[in-house]
Amino acid sequence: MPYSDYRTALVTGASTGMGEATVQRFTERGLTVHAVARNADRLAALAEKTGAIPHAVDLRDTAAVETELAGLPIDVLVNNAGVSRQGNVLSATAADLDDMVDVNLRAVLQLTRILLPGMVERDLGHIVNISSIAGLYNFFGHTAYHATKAAVHQISRQIRNDTVGKRIRVTEICPGRVETEIFGRNLGGTPEAMKQAWETFYEGYESLTTDDIVGSIEFAIEAPRHANIGLIEIMPTFQVPGGLTFDRRSE
């Protein structure tokens, strides 16, 4: 279903990283793009650069989201917004868990609930959920993050069941490590934290870039209209999800 079949898109987490890159590409391809994020200043700059329509709204506030976005005739919904926190469930705070569930999971469900009926009525739509290899594989830390992304994996499959018989496609993108601000935000979001995150997680590594993710989204969108690309797992060549830990106790 080529871009010419679609007119509008909505991208969450649009003010930075993969979301910003997706907005830029969509506008270049001629779509009217609604860009959603909390940072009004960044959204304004993005709107000036791309012509996207900014919506400064907190996805954790369902009432505000519904007031701002309900009724928009969206053809392509990209659920990209996500948060992560350091540590596992033993060290997480109540706020950490709530934020990850609210942004990574609840917002995906609520936005889908709000916008999918219009797609069904028009018999046209594509939902792209940005998940993570953390939703498919187990590795240390970030327990709630793994749980929310695993839920998005199942939601992506279930929406296909919910809309069977309609020309609606659902794609889940599961990236490995991508060069974004997420690690820097985990460390506090200051310039020093961003520098530390870059040196720790990206310097010397061949990580994915936001262009790689946008390319995956485009591949799914540009598939023939009779083909649904359901799952794209994309990782750096030098990153693998494998590994087995077997701890030993002496008593």
Q: Give me the phi and psi of 186, to 5 degrees please.
A: -60, -30
137 is catalytic: no
In 3D space, the residue among 70, 161, 168, 159 whose CA is nearest the CA of residue 126 turns out to be 168
**Residue whose entry in the numeric block shows the structure tokens 């890159």:** 21
In 3D space, the residue among 92, 102, 101, 138 whose CA is nearest the CA of residue 245 turns out to be 138
Task: Indicate the DSSP class of residue 89.
Answer: T
The rounded distance, in Å, linking the Cα atoms of 205 and 232 is 22
**Considering 137, 145, 202, 205, which one is annotated as catalytic?**
145
In 3D space, the residue among 239, 249, 163, 168 whose CA is nearest the CA of residue 206 turns out to be 239
**Catalytic amino acids?**
145
